[in-house]
Amino acid sequence: DVRDLNRKQRNKMAVVKEGLEVHEVIIQEGVYTFENINDAVAEPVVYMIDHFVVGGFYRVHTGRAVDENLNAPGMHFVPLAFDNPCSTPDCAGAPDEEKNRFYAYSVVARLALLAAAIELEENDPDNLS
């Protein structure tokens, strides 16, 4: 919790690389992963072009837990193969089947893209009154 940081931790957060002062921060809620590949914690990363999901990979880390940042030294990548477009789920298949899992990832990616587009539009200096 940010409120529980001691003085040393707060001072460390006050500057970034090259000694530049921090004036704003974004507090981001972490989401635990439930994915595992060969007994290692994994998280999906999805690539998009325009509003289309075109592929991705799993970020995998053998030395991290589900509640830790996997983007750290020691991570490796496993391709997330999209054989077919993920525009519709396979209703006849199990929810955890590969195609349906990819579909769920693509829905989250498209929602994130939409939220980012709305945020950009709302903060466009040309649109502010």
Q: Is pLDDT at 2 greater than 80 in this prediction?
A: no
Q: Residue 36's beta-bridge partner residues?
A: 41
Residue 45 domain flag:
yes
17 lies in some domain:
no
The pTM score is 0.69
Can you give the pLDDT at residue 83? Answer: 66
Q: Residue 106's domain spans which residues?
A: 30-122
**78-124: per-residue pLDDT in tens?**
998 766 667 788 889 888 887 888 888 889 999 999 999 999 999 88
DSSP 24-86: -----------EEETTEEEEEEEEEETTEEEEEEEEEETT--TTS---STTEEEEEE--SS--
Residue 12 lies in a domain: no
Which of 109, 122, 121 lies closest to 44, judged by CA? 109
pLDDT at residue number 11: 83
Residue 15 lies inside a defined structural domain of this protein: no
Mean pLDDT of all residues in 33-39: 88
pLDDT digits (tens, 9 = 90+) for 50-86: 888 888 899 999 999 998 889 899 999 999 876 666 7
Domain count, the chain: 1
- Give a yes or no: residue 99 inside a domain: yes
